[in-house]
Amino acid sequence: MADLFYLTEEQRMIRDLARQLAREKIAPLAAALDETEAFPGEQLELLARQGLLGIWLPEAYGGTDMGCLALALVAEELAWACAATATQYVVQPLGGLPILLSGTEAQKRRYLPRLATGEILAAFSLSEPNAGSDAASLRTTAVRRGDQYILNGAKQWCSNGDHAGVLTVFATVDPSQKARGVTAFLIEPGLPGFAVGKKERKMGIRGSPTVALHFSDCRVPVENRLGEEGEGFTIAMRTLDLTRPPTGAMAVGLAQAALDAAVAYAKERRQFDAPIASFQGIQFMLAEMAMQVHAGRLMVHHAARMVDHGLAGNTVEASMAKCVAADAAMRVTTDAVQIFGGYGYTRDYPVERFMRDAKIMQIYEGTGQIQRSIIARELLRS
């Protein structure tokens, strides 16, 4: 089936490597990671050693320049094994792409090679307690004083914010300007006035830490501003255009894992003197699940390929792919629990974790409703 996707030799190689690592080394740790909410440090070190952390970066910055589809392929394989580890993997380009897209040469040289090797991890902080879907309404302020900006405010839902060596943080130089006031800054831990806040206790992807950030008269040198004043919102949106395909790919991987588990269980589980896979009701469910996984995967590949072929403006395709794949993951994982019956509702089988992990796919990197708004806006543009 994979060959139908017309992958290059290089893409097939990187997918196979990720699949092997995910199945042999990462999947066995996934249940305990979920249970303990531990940080997947060992898993990320493994991915770093295998050269997987820098595949989205150009060679000039220590990467292997494999592109968006390769990133999506790896994200899918990792999410098949552990959605929390996969999330941590995708946070590296989420936090780092703004630097690649808009950084000065000095900023790129300072951070990107270390992101490629995994020496430091990245984070991306756009959301706030009162600015989630309406990201342009963020209220963390950045006031220029000489060669510094003074940041004040609170950020929310920052994946990996407590482990990152560099955080791309969005603040506003003028709240009345909405999106046009948003400005991006590179923040390093230890900066006076910057503190990591509450770690959330989440339903799923529990090995991926989600924290609040606090800025209290935090002095940020002007050299740490990314792009110009007012360019931050566009930087954030362009980044999400690139990370929504790999995020959709995580949803595909999770859905594939649930489908694989459901197929295996349906063949093994006997009721009414026959394997439940022999019943048409179950067969139809499995067929529906397979169609949804397939549709999600094709859309993810298409949105990622647009990036790799240098086609400007994959915004709508990225939103469609992320939305369809996330909805597929929610439906497929829910159906997998149904096929497992009472056993599926217990922690003795992985499908309940898959279902909990799937829910975030419809929320992070823009909710399903925001993706639909982006698609509709394009349809209705006159």
For ligand COS, the binding residues (CB under 6 A) are: 124, 126-127, 133-136, 179-180, 233-234, 237-238, 240-241, 315, 364-366, 370, 373-374
243 φψ region: left (φ > 0), alpha (ψ -120 to 50), beta (else) = alpha
Q: How far is the CB of 227 from ligand COS (least distance, A)?
A: 12
Q: How far is the CB of 247 from ligand COS (least distance, A)?
A: 9
Q: How far is the CB of 313 from ligand COS (least distance, A)?
A: 8
- Residue 278 neighbours by CB under 8 Å, 6+ apart: none
- Of 2 and 203, nearer to ligand COS (C-beta) is 203
Residue written as tokens 């920052």?
A: 158
Q: How far is the CB of 67 from ligand COS (least distance, A)?
A: 19
Q: How far apart (Å, rounded) are the C-alpha atoms in residues 65 and 241?
A: 18
Phi–psi pair at 372, nearest 5 degrees: -65, -40
What Rg value do the Cα atoms of the chain yield, rounded?
Answer: 21
- Of 100 and 136, nearer to ligand COS (C-beta) is 136
Q: How far is the CB of 346 from ligand COS (least distance, A)?
A: 32
Neighbours of 281 (CB within 10 A): 8
- Of 339 and 370, nearer to ligand COS (C-beta) is 370
The pairing of strands 122-125 and 166-172 is parallel
- Of 11 and 156, nearer to ligand COS (C-beta) is 156
- Of 253, 230, 202, 198, give the one whose Cα is nearest residue 86: 253
Query: What is the b/e burial string over 174-185, where b = at least 16 CB atoms within 10 angstroms of the residue's CB?
Result: eeeeebbbbbbb
Question: According to the 3-state scheme, what is the secondary structure of 253-321?
Answer: HHHHHHHHHHHHHHHHCEECCEEHHHCHHHHHHHHHHHHHHHHHHHHHHHHHHHHHCCCCCCHHHHHHH
Q: How far is the CB of 361 from ligand COS (least distance, A)?
A: 12
- Of 136 and 252, nearer to ligand COS (C-beta) is 136
- Of 318, 315, 328, 362, give the one whose Cα is nearest residue 253: 328
- Of 73, 70, 56, 93, give the one whose Cα is nearest residue 239: 93
Q: Which of 59, 352, 365, 378 is catalytic?
A: 365
Helix or strand or coil: residue 66?
A: coil
- Of 128 and 352, nearer to ligand COS (C-beta) is 128
- Of 193 and 197, nearer to ligand COS (C-beta) is 197
Residue closest to ligand COS, measured at CB: 366
Structure tokens at 239: 């980044």
Q: How far is the CB of 182 from ligand COS (least distance, A)?
A: 9
Give the bridge partners for 160, in sequence order: none
CB-based contact 127:195 (threshold 8 Å): no
Active site residue 76: no
Catalytic center residues: 365
